[in-house]
Structure 1
Amino acid sequence: MIIVTGANGNLGRGVVEQLLKRIPAEQIGVSVRDVGQAQDLEERGVRVRHGDFAEAESLLNAFEGASQVLLVSTGILGDAGISQHQTAIDTAKKSGAGRVLYTSHMGSSSTSYFPPMVHHAATEDLLEQSGMRHTSLRNGFYASSLVRLIGDAVTTGELIVPEDGPIAWTTHSDLAQATEVILTGKNWDGPSPNLTASEAIDMEGVAAMVSDIVGRPIYRKVLTDEAYRAYLTAQGFPEARIAITLGLFLASRNGDFAQTSDALADLIGRPPVTLRDFLKESLPL
Structure 2
Amino acid sequence: MIIVTGANGKLGRAVVEQLLKRVPAEQIGVSVRDPNQAQALQERGVRVRRGDFDEAESLHHAFEGASQVLIVSTGIMGEAGIPHGIRQHQAAIDAAKKAGAGRLLYTSHIGASPTSHFAPMVHHAATEELLKASGMPYTSLRNGYYAAAALMLIGGAMTTGELIAPEDGPVAWTTHADLVEAAAVIISEQRYDGVAPNLTGSEGVDMEGIAAIASELLGRTIRRIIVSDEEFRERLMSQGVSEASINMRLGMFLASRRGDFAQVDSTLAHLIGRPPVSIRDVLKESISHRQR
Q: 1:17: how far off?
A: 0.6
Counterpart-to-counterpart distance in 1, 2:12 and 2:217: 30
Q: 1:151: how far off?
A: 2.6
- Deviations 1:189-229 (Å, cap 9, x if unpaired)? 11000000000000000000111122211111111000000
Name the counterpart of 1:25. Answer: 25
Counterpart-to-counterpart distance in 1, 2:64 and 2:147: 34
Counterpart-to-counterpart distance in 1, 2:40 and 2:285: 25
Counterpart-to-counterpart distance in 2, 1:280 and 1:54: 40
Name the counterpart of 1:116. Answer: 120
SS of residue in 2 equivalent to 1:166? coil
Name the counterpart of 2:39. Answer: 39
Name the counterpart of 1:185. Answer: 189
Q: 2:258 aligns with which of 254, 261, 275?
A: 254
Q: 1:282: how far off?
A: 2.5
After superposing on structure 2, the runs of 4+ consecutive aligned residues of structure 1 that deviate more than 3 Å are none
Question: Is there any run of 5+ residues in structure 1 with no aligned partner, and where?
Answer: none
SS of residue in 2 equivalent to 1:109? coil
Name the counterpart of 1:150. Answer: 154
Q: 1:165 aligns with which of 169, 174, 179?
A: 169
Q: 1:251: how far off?
A: 0.4
Name the counterpart of 2:48. Answer: 48
Bigger Cα displacement from structure 2, 176-185 vs 143-152: 143-152
Counterpart-to-counterpart distance in 1, 2:251 and 2:165: 12
Name the counterpart of 1:223. Answer: 227
Counterpart-to-counterpart distance in 1, 2:51 and 2:218: 42
Amino acid corresponding to residue 36 of structure 1 in structure 2: N
SS of residue in 1 equivalent to 2:262? coil
Counterpart-to-counterpart distance in 2, 1:181 and 1:8: 20
Q: 1:8: how far off?
A: 1.4
Map of 1:258-273 to 2, 5 A cutoff?
258-273=262-277
Name the counterpart of 2:247. Answer: 243
Name the counterpart of 1:76. Answer: 76
- Deviations 1:42-64 (Å, cap 9, x if unpaired)? 11111111111111111111111
The answer to whether 1:195 aligns with 2:199 is yes
Name the counterpart of 1:12. Answer: 12
Could you tell me the TM-score, scaled by structure 2's length?
0.96
- Deviations 1:138-184 (Å, cap 9, x if unpaired)? 11001111111113111111111100000000000000000000001
Counterpart-to-counterpart distance in 1, 2:286 and 2:95: 38
Q: 1:262: how far off?
A: 0.3
> Percent identity of the aligned residues?
67
The answer to whether 1:88 aligns with 2:92 is yes
Q: 1:187: how far off?
A: 2.7
Name the counterpart of 2:64. Answer: 64
Q: 1:280: how far off?
A: 1.7
Q: 2:130 aligns with which of 112, 126, 129?
A: 126
Bigger Cα displacement from structure 2, 182-191 vs 224-233: 182-191
Counterpart-to-counterpart distance in 2, 1:68 and 1:16: 13
The answer to whether 1:282 aligns with 2:286 is yes
SS of residue in 2 equivalent to 1:169? coil
Bigger Cα displacement from structure 2, 256-265 vs 10-19: 10-19
Counterpart-to-counterpart distance in 1, 2:101 and 2:112: 25
Q: How many residues align?
A: 285
Counterpart-to-counterpart distance in 1, 2:217 and 2:65: 48
Question: Is there any run of 5+ residues in structure 2 with no aligned partner, and where?
Answer: none
Name the counterpart of 1:103. Answer: 107
Amino acid corresponding to residue 13 of structure 1 in structure 2: R
Amino acid corresponding to residue 278 of structure 2 in structure 1: T
Bigger Cα displacement from structure 2, 98-107 vs 208-217: 208-217
Cα RMSD over matched residues? 1.0
